[in-house]
A and B are shown apart, each in its own frame.
Chain A
Amino acid sequence: QIYLVESGGGVVQPGGSLRLSCAASGFTFTSCGMYWVRQAPGKGLEWVAYIRKDGHAQYYADSVKGRFTISRDNSKNTVYLQMNDLGIEDTALYFCAKDVPDVVAFDYWGQGTLVTVSS
């Protein structure tokens, strides 16, 4: 059974930072690219960041480029999202998801962790 379990969300003031984690199990972590996707309250899905299976390539949505950093620790089967200079517009439920390389993106998702940016 594949599991993706996010953690690290919470309430933070504008300009603050948070680090999200996603612990993976039930599949060969080193064979899969990993994503972060967010969903603002009552809104649709927005891709945020992607990291290749070997960790040597990362991509970011324009809305977070320069503020967010995705990384992974293949020895811990965990992917991270470091979020700096948070704004109210970053308030959302953050999901991690995995791919099947060269087949499909986002084939399994975690349940999400909520980030609230508020003064």
Chain B
Amino acid sequence: EIVMTQSPATLSVSPGERVTLSCRTSQSVSNSVGWFQQRPGQAPRLLIYGASTRATGTPARFSGSGSGTEFTLTISSLQSEDFAVYYCQQYNDWPPWTFGQGTKVEMK
């Protein structure tokens, strides 16, 4: 089973700041990584797939990078609606499909 490790667990930031979230996998997953946003009380929403491709409707301020075992989600200028929990997930080696434990982006 591929283990996904996200860091940090919590990020305290102010609107307008640049935010970088990290995700590490226990073995190479090529570029088969997705990033999801989950706002309170809502279902997760796919933001990025293939490590760097924005899903339909994902604002351009979100970008993803990485391959192999190290991946990054960057929000170039945090907006108020971006305060949420973000999960990375691998779909290279399954089953199981595995998620990271999440990074909570909260207001400073």
Contact = CB atoms under 8 A, between A and B. Distances in A.
B36 to A, nearest CB: 7
Contact of A105 (B34, B43, B100): B34
Contact of B99 (A44, A62, A108): A44
Nearest to B101: A44
Interface in A67-119: 95, 103-112
Given A104-B34, A104-B91, A105-B34, A45 B43 contact: no
A61 B44 CA distance: 19
B49 A109 contact: no
B44 A106 contact: yes
A50 B43 contact: no
Nearest to B6: A44
B99 A47 contact: yes
B18 interface: no
Nearest to A62: B96
Contacts, number: 64
A106 B98 contact: no
A59 B45 contact: no
Q: Is the interface of B mostly helix, strand, loop or mixed?
A: loop
B87 interface: yes
Contact of A95 (B44, B55, B91): B44
Contacts of B64: none
A109 B101 contact: no
B95 interface: yes
Contacts of B98: 47
A105 B44 contact: no
Given A45-B44, A106-B46, A106-B89, 18 more contacts: A35-B97, A37-B44, A44-B100, A44-B101, A44-B102, A45-B102, A47-B95, A47-B99, A50-B94, A62-B96, A103-B50, A104-B50, A105-B91, A105-B94, A106-B91, A107-B49, A110-B43, A111-B42
- Closest 3 pairs (CB-CB, A-B): A104-B49, A59-B95, A105-B91
Interface of A: 35, 37, 44-47, 50, 59-62, 95, 103-112
